């Protein structure tokens, strides 16, 4: 895939005939999930849970992966719509509801927050008090269920179910068959509940608690539901799609903390080391993992390992955490969209002065070049928001400019995703352009065989895009190689005979590439008309470097702006290759005022109108930057 992108990325718009429609841009994240799903599906270890008869005949080949961002965008592959019982994944959500109902102190008095080091169904009660070690083992989960209150005529279990549904963003239901099977076969949980009652941890008849616990474990979900439930935890308890604040931040903090240290039972230490995300597994085959502020991951695959966790769920979580750098140590900062602003180049044109014909092409086709202005840290969440935007481009966008000037850190996963996006853009006939002053992204892409056009300033990148669009959608004569002053935008406003009279007074001058024509601070030296070739204008930056401002070509003028401030030149003007000019010198202009006042007035009017057009163009980009 990458090898096909090298030439296209270097000059994308020249690889195809003008067209209004481009195929969709594939997502590199979708492609990645397809790849690991195919590879991990080959794992055949483990067996589905058989202690609950209603779950014994599940298809062991079921396998789904769903990754939901903290703003609610979901990537999915495989059997993500296959329903299964939530089982122990219910525990953190019931625990959170108990915390919301009773408060931290009251819940802590009944259930501790310490890792037990035991499997999910061990007794693990504190000696003397009977307090369960944590709310993720069965004894602690039964206690948490007992602490949830009925309210306003709504039973305890219906409040639990409604909470799960609010996390998932849809109404969930209970499998009566699974519930009856658990109620009939769950002897150990019956015994735990009565043992907890003997210590007064459960303060009332344990029979209703047992039933509600078995019902909560029998709630039916699919992988998408679990991904959205995990994303809601990642989003500080607010469902990213519905906007409902399902759980306040204090209970969410506690829930995620306990999930991190206790959610994977006696495998919690290995999990935290290798995956590094708060997580919870269930014997129904589900696994969730949460990276606060960034993503919620859900995997469904019934075959379990010796710890009661899905074999493929563990393998998938380890793989994604490693490949996408989701371990909490690497990605501890809150994820947010890295996109500060999105606009097409008509909203921020370059400083290049164009002919009327070229300007019309850009007005009609400038929307085909889209600028994504990025900021902050490009960790997984930030990079994901960028590649999602690229994958969601309208079908007539063909050039994508990534402006990286305000980006702080670029992670390895961001670099990889950008490379894959560049390849996929080129594969659909589009091209990537970078504004990358430090060169970090450009250097990485080059190392992968992708030579992407890269510029230090956004203005230069936009100029590149404008030229590509003009080449693609304009005629051969739209950017003439030679233009006499009489045909220039400035003098075209005069009567033909007046324009000819002005041109007759001009002097011709030639320059080589890099020659300095005017320097900052020089006094007004006349108006320079470019006949052939180009010039660049620049000015000094505070750090001593030079900032490129504009590129001017045939038919365009410079020098007249020196009249605006102390009659001195405000920019340095250099030849950009072989250059031919015609100059209306300052002395000649004074003579014209004396000899032909009418023509002098008409000339000044024309030059003023032309200068105003340029100033208006500069103001449009300045307004955009001020708005940002």
Q: Which domain holds residue 417?
A: 3-27+337-473
Which pLDDT belongs to residue 478?
A: 59
Query: Do 558 and 608 have their domain in common?
Result: yes
Looking at residue 516, which CATH number applies to its domain?
2.60.120.10
Query: Do 55 and 142 have their domain in common?
Result: yes
Indicate whether 328 belongs to any domain: no
Q: Map 106-139 to HEC letters.
A: HHHHHCCCCCCCCCCCCCCECCCCCCECCCCCHH
Q: Is 130 left (phi over 0), alpha (psi -120 to 50) or beta?
A: left
Query: Do 468 and 494 have their domain in common?
Result: no
Query: Do 494 and 552 have their domain in common?
Result: yes
Kind and range of the H or E element at 149? none
Query: Do 410 and 553 have their domain in common?
Result: no
Which pLDDT belongs to residue 159?
A: 98
Which pLDDT belongs to residue 558?
A: 86
CB 1 within 8 A of CB 376: no
Question: What six digits make up the tokens of 316?
Answer: 């998938």
CB 534 within 8 A of CB 579: yes
Which pLDDT belongs to residue 223?
A: 98
Indicate whether 312 belongs to any domain: no
Indicate whether 64 belongs to any domain: yes
Question: What six digits make up the tokens of 89?
Answer: 């994944």
User: Any idea how long the chain is?
Assistant: 628
Query: Do 115 and 182 have their domain in common?
Result: yes
Nearest to 130 by CA among 75, 69, 193: 193
Helices 311-323, 28-40: axis angle to 10 degrees equals 140
Indicate whether 320 belongs to any domain: no
Residues of the chain with pLDDT under 50: 1-19, 332, 334-335, 477, 621, 624-628
Look at residues 421, 448, 473 and tell me which one is the last residue of a structural domain: 473
Look at residues 473, 499, 518 and tell me which one is the last residue of a structural domain: 473
Indicate whether 37 belongs to any domain: no
Query: Do 140 and 203 have their domain in common?
Result: yes
Looking at residue 19, which CATH number applies to its domain?
3.30.750.24
Query: Do 468 and 489 have their domain in common?
Result: no
Query: Do 346 and 494 have their domain in common?
Result: no
Indicate whether 311 belongs to any domain: no
Which pLDDT belongs to residue 609?
A: 81
Indicate whether 310 belongs to any domain: no
Q: Map 391-419 to HEC letters.
A: HCCCCCCCEEEEEEEEEEEECHHHHHHHH
Query: Do 446 and 587 have their domain in common?
Result: no
What string of DSSP letters covers 153-181?
A: TB-HHHHHHHHHHHHHTS--EE-HHHHHH
Question: What six digits make up the tokens of 249?
Answer: 């931040």
Alpha-carbon torsion (475, 481, 487, 493), positive or negative? positive
Instruction: Kindly list the distances between the CA atom of residue 336 and the CA atoms of 10, 383, 416, in Å, as whole numbers in the listed order.
Output: 31, 10, 19
Query: Do 54 and 164 have their domain in common?
Result: yes
Residue holding tokens 């992968």? Answer: 448
Count the domains in the chain: 3
Which pLDDT belongs to residue 357?
A: 79
User: What whole-number distance in Å separates Cα of residue 604 and Cα of residue 354?
Assistant: 21
Look at residues 440, 473, 506 and tell me which one is the last residue of a structural domain: 473
Supply the pTM of this predicted model.
0.78
Indicate whether 541 belongs to any domain: yes
Looking at residue 280, which CATH number applies to its domain?
3.40.710.10
Query: Do 350 and 210 have their domain in common?
Result: no
Helix (H, G, I), strand (E, B) or coil at 257: helix
């Amino acid at each position: 895939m990458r090898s096909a992108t090298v030439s296209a990325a270097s000059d994308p718009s020249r690889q195809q005939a003008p067209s209004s429609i481009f195929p969709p841009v594939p997502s590199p994240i979708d492609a990645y999930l397809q790849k690991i799903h195919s590879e991990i599906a080959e794992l055949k270890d483990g067996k589905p849970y058989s202690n609950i008869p209603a779950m014994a005949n599940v298809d062991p080949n079921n396998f789904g992966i769903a990754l939901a961002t903290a703003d609610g965008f979901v990537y999915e592959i495989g059997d993500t719509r296959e329903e299964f019982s939530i089982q122990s994944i219910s525990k953190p959500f019931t625990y959170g509801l108990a915390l919301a109902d009773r408060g931290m102190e009251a819940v802590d008095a009944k259930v501790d927050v310490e890792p037990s080091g035991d499997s999910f169904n061990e007794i693990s009660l504190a000696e003397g008090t009977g307090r369960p070690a944590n709310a993720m083992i069965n004894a602690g989960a039964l206690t948490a269920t007992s602490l949830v209150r009925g309210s306003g005529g709504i039973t305890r279990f219906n409040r639990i179910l409604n909470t799960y549904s609010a996390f998932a963003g849809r109404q969930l239901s209970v499998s009566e068959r699974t519930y009856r099977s658990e109620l009939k076969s769950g002897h150990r949980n019956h015994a735990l509940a009565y043992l907890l009652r003997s210590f007064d941890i459960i303060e009332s008849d344990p029979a209703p608690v047992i039933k509600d616990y078995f019902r909560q474990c029998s709630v039916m979900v699919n992988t998408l539901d679990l991904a959205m439930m995990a994303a809601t935890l990642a989003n500080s308890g607010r469902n990213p799609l519905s906007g409902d604040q399902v759980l306040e931040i204090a209970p969410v903090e506690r829930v995620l903390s306990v999930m991190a240290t206790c959610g994977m039972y006696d495998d919690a230490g290995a999990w935290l080391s290798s995956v590094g995300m708060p997580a919870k597994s269930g014997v129904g085959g589900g696994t969730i993992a949460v990276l606060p502020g960034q993503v919620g991951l859900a995997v469904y695959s019934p075959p379990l390992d010796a710890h009661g966790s899905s074999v493929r769920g563990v393998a998938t979580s380890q793989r994604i955490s490693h490949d996408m750098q989701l371990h909490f140590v690497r990605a501890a900062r809150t994820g947010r969209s890295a996109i500060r602003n999105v606009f097409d180049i008509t909203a921020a044109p370059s400083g290049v002065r164009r002919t009327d014909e070229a300007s019309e092409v850009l007005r009609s086709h400038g929307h085909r070049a889209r600028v994504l202005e990025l900021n902050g840290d490009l960790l997984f969440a930030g990079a994901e928001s960028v590649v999602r935007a690229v994958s969601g481009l309208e079908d007539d966008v063909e050039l994508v400019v990534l402006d990286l000037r305000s980006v702080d850190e670029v992670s390895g996963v961001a670099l990889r995703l950008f490379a894959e996006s560049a390849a996929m853009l080129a594969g659909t006939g589009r091209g990537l352009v970078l504004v990358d002053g430090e060169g970090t992204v450009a250097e990485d892409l080059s190392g992968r065989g992708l030579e992407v056009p890269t510029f230090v300033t956004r203005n230069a990148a936009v100029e590149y895009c404008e030229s590509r669009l003009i080449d693609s959608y304009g005629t051969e004569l739209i950017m003439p190689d030679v233009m006499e002053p009489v045909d220039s935008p400035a003098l075209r406003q005069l009567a033909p005979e007046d324009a000819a009279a002005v041109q007759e007074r001009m002097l011709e001058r030639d320059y080589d590439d890099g020659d300095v024509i005017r320097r900052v601070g020089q006094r007004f030296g006349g108006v320079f008309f470019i006949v052939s070739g180009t010039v660049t204008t620049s000015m000094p930056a505070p750090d001593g470097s030079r900032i490129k401002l504009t590129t001017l070509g045939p038919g365009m003028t410079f020098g007249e702006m020196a009249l605006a401030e102390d009659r001195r030149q405000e920019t340095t003007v250099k030849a950009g290759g072989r250059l031919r000019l015609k100059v209306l010198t300052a002395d000649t202009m004074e003579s014209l005022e004396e000899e032909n006042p009418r023509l002098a007035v008409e000339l000044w009017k024309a030059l003023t109108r032309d200068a105003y057009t340029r100033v208006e163009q500069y103001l449009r980009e300045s307004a955009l930057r001020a708005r940002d």
